[in-house]
Structure 1
Amino acid sequence: MLMFAGIICIAIGLINVINPNFAWYLKESWKVDGDSEPSDTYIALTKIGGVIAIVFGVIFFFTGIFS
């Protein structure tokens, strides 16, 4: 089960690192009328969160393999 959770965390982390705008469009774009873009701070924090998710995913994955 931990291996599966690790794979999910890694996938979410990769999406956040590669395309941080994706999360903004899912969560916030419907609230704004017209053209709007996420701020640079939002993009940076999303990328940092993605790296953290990847680290936790790797830990979960290897914990699941060795348990």
Structure 2
Amino acid sequence: MYILVGIVFLVIGLLMVVSPSIFFQITESWKSDKANEPSELFKISTRVGGCFFIIIGIACLIFL
């Protein structure tokens, strides 16, 4: 079970770090008609959160 959770966290974390714009389109763009692109603060905070997701994913895979 931890392997599956670790893989899911890694995939989500990589998406957040590599392409915060796609993450924005999936999670936030439907909330506003005028928001076409994420702000710089959103990009930075998404990348930081993605790093935490990657760390948690690796920890789930290592510490079974």
Whether these two folds match at TM > 0.5 is: yes
RMSD, aligned CA = 1.4
User: Once the two structures are superposed, what CA deviation does each residue of 1:6-61 show, in whole Å capped at 9, x if it has no partner?
Assistant: 11111110010010111211122223335621100000000000000000000011
Is the radius of gyration larger for structure 1 or structure 2? 1
Identity within the alignment, %? 33
Residue 31 of structure 2 corresponds to 31
TM-score by length of 1: 0.84
1:19 aligns with 2:19: yes
Structure 1 unmatched runs, 5+: none
TM-score by length of 2: 0.87
Letter in 1 for 2:48: I
| Number of equivalences | 64
Residue 53 of structure 2 corresponds to 53
Asked whether the 8 Å contact 1:3–1:63 carries over to 2, the reply is: no
